[in-house]
């Protein structure tokens, strides 16, 4: 009978169905790099503390490094038999170097081992996702620089509201993405503690040095309480939440891009590289990429809800339920990275149809609020009275088949004889956009200020990285 190396008291071969349910190797093989890094650091510490010999350490180190290369190059395939990545690496190392390999698991349990591997994966990917977010912020800022004078109808309730410019709209996304970036980094800092050496749940009687392994693996420090550490998956939940919020932002942008690519809007034209056709309608060019980005947001939310639900009833410390933490995180991380790469390419290559945006500003009476503000300032009217009067002017403009910005001084004077000639300036769409020059507003000088803010922030990042 083949004896399972991780089962000391089980004397009969495991049921095939148990193995199918229990084995995590098919998915946790993703963690082979982290698992080998953890074993290298742990063995180095064991030798430093005199727990294993220098000779054994040499064999272990060489064996693990060889294994790493063999797995990377595909010479060794991790695909069946072993229960999980930890047992697979231990078995392969034992086959390679013999007895020394059996000493690696001294003062360690798979409970702290998996917590270490998975935490390293989550931390490294948090930095990688943050880097990709920054790449997209650069694209938003580049578009903003080009389009800070491109008029666009700003909407509320998806109805024309007030004129803004396309650059300003892109910088709204830069702001959202900057928060996302910061969220990944703050989670990184909060969770940057090493679980290695926590062992099964309560620490170990061996004279280990957790500080040393933490530093070897690039963690800030060892975690403070082993009981918590082996059962904590907050770091995984945080990355799932951070990805969900990021994808929610990507999904909102995707929705706008889909809308803006319709024949009704034609505000943007996606590159042919990023659109697909229809198998029956020869004329079609479909925005599949933003649709997929919007769609993938759903599965990413599902992964977050899945793990929150797995964790909610677990007593301390490790429970096998926790093995369910990985697939959703791997899936969300891959989805986020691919989505960010595709989004950047699409933004960089999309065509912005200035004229159509501009034309759209001529309907919907975008400067109506400006006329009310004018009356408050120049005619000393209470805002509410001005608001009602402008309402009737809008109705008059509709009767004439015009936008409020197209009414002449004469037409306005017929409605109220208190208007001065400069009233038409106020109704001009470009002027209306530039009038909103309060801090954070859409006026060109404020947009310029925001561009400089993001440029400086991107520059700071360069200096610090
Ligand atoms: N494959 C397991 C997981 O992913 C590793 C930890 C197993 N620990 C144990 N005590 N059975 O959670």
Residue 308 has a pLDDT of 98
How many whole angstroms separate alpha carbon 372 and alpha carbon 394? 11
| For the ranges 108-117, 400-409, 411-420, the one whose mean pLDDT is highest | 108-117
| pTM score of the predicted model | 0.94
Q: Reply yes or no on whether 157 is catalytic.
A: yes
How far is residue 25 from each of residues 77, 78, 102, measured CA to CA in Å? 11, 8, 20
- Angle at CA 199, nearest 5°, toward 193 and 202? 95
For residue 167, the 8-state DSSP code is H
The continuous run of DSSP H or E covering 38 comes out as: helix 32-48
How far is residue 393 from each of residues 10, 373, 399, 436, measured CA to CA in Å? 87, 14, 10, 22
Residue 114 has a pLDDT of 98
Question: Is it the case that residue 464 has pLDDT exceeding 70?
Answer: no
Separation of CA 119 and ligand 1 centre (Å): 14
Q: Is 104 helix (H, G, I), strand (E, B) or coil?
A: coil
465 pLDDT band (50/70/90 cuts)? low
> Cα Rg for the chain, rounded, in angstroms?
31
Q: Is 253 helix (H, G, I), strand (E, B) or coil?
A: helix
How many whole angstroms separate alpha carbon 298 and alpha carbon 409? 52
Average pLDDT for 133-150: 98
User: Does ligand 1 lie within 6 Å of residue 322's CB atom?
Assistant: yes
Residue 3 has a pLDDT of 59
Residue listed under structure tokens 């089980």: 10
2 pLDDT band (50/70/90 cuts)? low
How many whole angstroms separate alpha carbon 170 and alpha carbon 156? 16
Please, are residues 48 and 212 in contact by the beta-carbon 8 Å criterion?
yes
How many whole angstroms separate alpha carbon 397 and alpha carbon 450? 36
Q: Reply yes or no on whether 53 is catalytic.
A: no
Q: What is the pLDDT of residues 346-367, one digit of tens each?
A: 999 999 999 999 999 999 999 9
Taking the CA of residue 84 as reference, the ligand 1 atom at the shortest distance is 1
- Our CA dihedral for 185, 191, 195, 201, rounded to 10 degrees, sits at -160
Separation of CA 39 and ligand 1 centre (Å): 16
């Amino acid at each position: 009978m083949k004896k399972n190396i991780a089962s000391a008291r089980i004397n009969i071969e495991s049921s095939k169905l148990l193995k199918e349910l229990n084995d995590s190797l098919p998915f946790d093989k993703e963690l082979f790099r982290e698992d080998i890094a953890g074993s290298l650091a742990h063995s180095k510490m064991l030798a430093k503390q005199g727990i294993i010999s220098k000779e054994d350490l040499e064999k272990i180190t060489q064996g693990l490094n060889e294994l790493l290369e063999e797995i990377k190059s595909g010479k060794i395939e991790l695909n069946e038999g072993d229960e999980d990545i930890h047992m697979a690496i231990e078995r392969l190392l034992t086959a390679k170097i013999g007895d020394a390999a059996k000493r690696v698991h001294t003062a360690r349990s798979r409970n702290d081992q998996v917590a270490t591997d998975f935490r390293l994966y989550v931390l490294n990917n948090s930095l990688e996702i943050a880097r990709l977010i920054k790449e997209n912020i650069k694209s938003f800022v580049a578009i903003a620089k080009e389009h800070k004078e491109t008029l666009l109808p700003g909407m509320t309730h998806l109805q024309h509201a007030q004129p803004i410019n396309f650059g300003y709209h892109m910088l709204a996304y830069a702001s959202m993405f900057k928060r996302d970036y910061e969220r990944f980094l703050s989670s990184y800092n909060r969770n940057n503690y090493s679980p290695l050496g926590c062992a099964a749940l309560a620490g170990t009687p061996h004279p280990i040095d957790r500080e040393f392994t933490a530093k070897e693996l690039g963690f800030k420090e060892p975690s403070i309480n082993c009981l918590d550490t082996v059962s904590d998956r907050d770091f995984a939940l945080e990355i799932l939440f951070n990805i969900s919020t990021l994808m929610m932002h990507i999904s909102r942008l995707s929705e706008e891009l889909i809308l803006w690519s319709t024949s009704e809007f034609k505000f943007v034209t996606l590159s042919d590289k990023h659109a697909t056709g229809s198998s029956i309608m020869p004329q079609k060019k479909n925005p599949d990429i933003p649709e997929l980005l919007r769609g993938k947001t759903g599965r990413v939310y599902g992964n977050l809800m899945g793990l929150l639900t797995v964790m909610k009833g677990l007593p301390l410390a490790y429970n096998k339920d926790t093995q369910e933490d990985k697939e959703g995180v791997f899936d969300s991380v891959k989805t986020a990275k691919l989505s960010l790469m595709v989004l950047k390419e699409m933004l960089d290559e999309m065509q912005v149809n200035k004229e159509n945006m501009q034309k759209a500003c001529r309907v919907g009476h975008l400067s109506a609020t400006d006329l009310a503000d004018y009356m408050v300032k120049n005619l000393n009217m209470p805002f509410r009275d001005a608001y009602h009067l402008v309402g009737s002017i809008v109705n008059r403009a509709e009767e004439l088949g015009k936008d409020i910005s197209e009414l002449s001084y004469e037409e306005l004077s017929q409605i109220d004889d208190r208007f001065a000639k400069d009233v038409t300036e106020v109704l001009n769409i470009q002027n209306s956009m530039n009038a909103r020059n309060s801090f954070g507003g859409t006026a060109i000088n404020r947009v310029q200020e925001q561009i400089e803010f993001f440029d400086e922030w991107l520059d700071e990042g360069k200096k610090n990285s």
